[in-house]
Chain A
Amino acid sequence: MQGHAKQENRKMGAEVLRIVQYLNQFFGGIGGEDKAHVGPQVKSGPVGPGRAVQEALGERGEVVATIICGDNYFAERIEDATAEVINLLRFYQPDAVIAGPAFDAGRYGIACGALCKGVKDQLGVPAVTGMFRENPAVDLFRKHVYIIETEDSARRMSEAVSQMVKIVLKLVGKEKIGKPSVEGYFSQGYLENEISDRPGAERVVSMLLAKLHGQSFKSEVSLPKYDRVELAPGIKDLRSATIALVTDGGLVPKGNPDRIEDRAATRFGVYSLEGKDALDPNDYEVNHVGYTPVFVLQDPHRLVPVDVMRDLEKEGVIKKLHEKFYSTTGAVNIVENVKKMGQAIAKELKNEGVSGVILTST
């Protein structure tokens, strides 16, 4: 298969690049969240988005194999899964690896980022991926790996893929990669000295003037995105503590009365636990696109541990389980909105004399 293509291109004097692509269970056509637990499998040739990759490569390369793995399988054992997938990749002797693009999918993004980093470090071969700016994996991996900036959904798959392939071809050809804004990848934190036509003092004053006039300006130094919060004082005596349960796993009463969004939630719900020793599965549903709800639907305590908390209360280990639990949806959420919700929940819990919180995320 590959030999034939190689012959053709020998005429032009170029070697056909061997590309291996990594996809999750969904883009790999195996299934949805129900298949997120499956381990890595290999298919020869391109699969799904691989066809767009093959098109972008043209005669320069061939997608010789596709490795497909479940998002949960990878996320729950990142190091081991990276090693497993790299072992499968090795066999194909790739000239480069393309992972995803993962768009806004967090677990998929983590898999793509971790894999690309691993391939770079262990195989010494270029590895590129693509993600939406709100994907948590962007900040985790941008310094180590070229991550093309994509939209939040697969609507513009071919554009994302074509930018990824462009960078791959440059990396393989050992060409210089241009600035992030030009090549379309997330900046990696490198500062390069450039000669400007204006002195620094002039540049900074014109930025200030733009800011004062409410005009847009481009900062030359980007501020770090995540602030660090000081540790709140730990609970001194659990026996006199009231503990509240909060979740972003999207557990809501049947019918989702507060109409919490199943992704990118802007609202949270407050649900009474008064008189409840346990959560009845018949009373609740899961409203969250980011994970298969099967197990939590069978037993909501797997997400909101009311049963155990009541035992601890009865035994006097804690004084009280707070009579309300707070719920929202953490799938593909926007930082600003989560911050607002967090502030609102924090205010309420503080006012109600809660001592500490157990927050469960899926």
Chain B
Amino acid sequence: MLAKELERVGLPTAQVCTLTPVALMVGSNRIVPASSVVHPLGDPHRDPKAEKIFRRGIVEEALRALQLRDD
């Protein structure tokens, strides 16, 4: 819902989330799967260094999504 209002004014918005079916249904345009409901951009099972690299991977995916164009 928030993502749509942002996209509507021309701000590309990547939504990092776990409940992707909801995001799809609601009409979010750039959906990026999160790690988990309770740690969308993290993984407590990894050591801090590895976790940060993991986080960066998802963020980079989000940045890629932001660059998607209709053409």
Contacts and interface: CB of A to CB of B under 8 A. Distances in A.
Interface of A: 36-37, 72, 75-76, 78, 106-107, 110, 136-137, 139-140, 226-236, 238, 241, 243, 246, 248-249, 291-296, 298-299, 301-303, 305, 307-309, 311-312, 317-318, 328, 333, 335, 338-339, 341-343, 345-347, 349-350, 354-362
B39 to A, nearest CB: 4
B14 A358 contact: yes
Contacts of B8: 229, 232, 346
Interface residues of B, number: 47
Given A228-B27, A309-B59, A354-B11, 8 more contacts: A231-B7, A302-B41, A305-B41, A307-B55, A341-B2, A357-B12, A359-B2, A360-B17
Interface of B: 1-19, 21-23, 25-27, 29, 34, 36-42, 44, 51-52, 55-56, 59, 62-63, 66-70
Contacts of B36: 72, 76
Contacts, number: 204
A339 B5 contact: yes
A98 B70 CA distance: 44
A226 B26 contact: yes
A230 B52 CA distance: 33
A136 B11 contact: no
B56 A359 contact: no
16 contacts: A72-B37, A75-B37, A137-B22, A229-B4, A229-B27, A232-B8, A238-B63, A238-B66, A291-B38, A299-B51, A303-B41, A307-B55, A339-B5, A341-B5, A350-B10, A355-B12
B55 A308 contact: yes
Contact of A291 (B10, B37, B42, B70): B37
A226 B23 CA distance: 11
A312 B62 CA distance: 13
Given A231-B7, A231-B29, A235-B66, A292 B2 contact: no
Contact of A75 (B14, B18, B68): B18
A294 B38 CA distance: 8
Contacts of A139: 25
A358 B40 contact: no
A91 B25 CA distance: 33
Interface centre among A229, A243, A298 (most CB of B within 10 A): A229
B7 to A, nearest CB: 5
Given A302-B42, A361-B34, A356 B66 contact: yes
A274 B66 CA distance: 23
A356 B14 contact: yes
Nearest to B30: A231
Contacts of A243: 63, 66
A257 B41 CA distance: 25
Contacts of B6: 246, 342, 345-346, 349, 357, 359
